[in-house]
Structures are given as structure tokens and as C-alpha cells.
Chains A and B, each alone.
Chain A
Amino acid sequence: EDQVTQSPEALRLQEGESSSLNCSYTVSGLRGLFWYRQDPGKGPEFLFTLYSAGEEKEKERLKATLTKKESFLHITAPKPEDSATYLCAVLLYSGGGADGLTFGKGTHLIIQP
């Protein structure tokens, strides 16, 4: 069975304290890996797409990387407004054109001032 596992489940950091969130996947036929941010009571907000091992994407304080087994979301010098749940999702090859994402449970990140 395809699996997406995120760790840690929750992470509390001081403002300015850099860290990394992990997303490991055991899937066959990865088409793409996606990172989303979700605030309480809101829909997932798209951050990054990664397609192949070695690829990196960056946006402000966030940087996403991908290997053959896992992805990392690095957060550098975070601010309180970066507090959210970060979701990892994978898109698999199925032969169809409109395929659903398989999500992990997310990492709940709290940045304390």
C-alpha cells in the first residue's frame, strides 16, 4: 500500500531557530511530490512541487528538497507567521489525467516569539 509519513507530528521552535520537516514515501510510480501549508479551518495552500530526485525549490524562508525516498522542508529563521500545519502529498502514475493526491498527516509547526 502506498504510504506518506510525515515527521515530526508537531514541532515547537523559537523565532529564528531553523529546522527541517520530513516527508518519507513508499510509493510506486511517483509523478510528483507537493508541499502545502494549512492554517486552522482553512484549505491547503500550495507551496512547492518537486518532480525528480535532487530537485530543490525555494520561497522566502522555505526550501524543499527531494530524494528517491523522502522530501525535506527546511525552514530558515522562522517567524511566528510561519506557524501552521505543513502537509506533504504525492501524485502517482495511474494512467489517468486527473489523479488525486495522497496526503500525509502533516507536521504542526509552532513558532514562538
Chain B
Amino acid sequence: EPEVTQTPSHQVTQMGQEVILRCVPISNHLYFYWYRQILGQKVEFLVSFYNNEISEKSEIFDDQFSVERPDGSNFTLKIRSTKLEDSAMYFCASSEVQQYFGPGTRLTVT
């Protein structure tokens, strides 16, 4: 059964460093998403992407975040200058209709 994959599973970085989180969506899906979940809190929408451009973004998705589909299979989330409060699980999702989520990347900012 096709599934969304994410790498790395765990990323530790120092405050102020740039990180890139990677996702491979399900191959025939056209819509892609990033969400985050701070420990003990609810899943929050960050951004959606369709036809090589951002479709919708939340208030959380400010100028330090960017997304890219660099080739036909990968979908990335870049955080330019990480802050302590960026520590969270980051989930990628893709959809035709229902959104299917990847296993997540745990980002720890020290």
C-alpha cells in the first residue's frame, strides 16, 4: 500500500541553524501539506501546495518557513533560522481527496 515517507525521523539542531525536512508524497497525489504538533498539543496546519505553488498557509507559516518541490517526488519544508519554539513533530501529508500523513520528523532545537 502506498504511503507518505519522511526523512529524517529525528533532527537535532542548534538555535539559529537552518533545517530542511524532506517528504516523499504518495505518487499519484497532487496536493501536499505540512503540519506540526508540539508535544502534548493538537496537530496544526502550516501550509498546502498545489501545482508548484503555495495554495494556503496559516499564521504560523511566517517568513522563516518555505516549501519546495525540487523534483517529481520530493516535497521539502525549510526553516531558515530555528527557534526553541520550533521544536515539534512535523508531518507531511498528501491527498487526492483524503489527506494521508507520513510518520513525522521530530525536530529538537537546542
Contacts and interface: CB of A to CB of B under 8 A. Distances in A.
Given A99-B48, A100-B45, A46 B91 contact: no
B93 to A, nearest CB: 8
B9 to A, nearest CB: 9
Interface secondary structure of B, over-half rule: strand
B6 to A, nearest CB: 8
Contacts, number: 66
Interface residues of B, number: 30
A71 interface: no
Interface secondary structure of A, over-half rule: loop
- Indicate the size class of the contact surface on chain A: 20 to 34
A105 B42 contact: yes
A42 to B, nearest CB: 6
Give 4 closest A-B pairs by Cβ, nearest first.
A100-B45, A43-B101, A98-B48, A98-B55
Interface of A: 34, 36, 41-46, 49, 87, 89, 94, 96-106
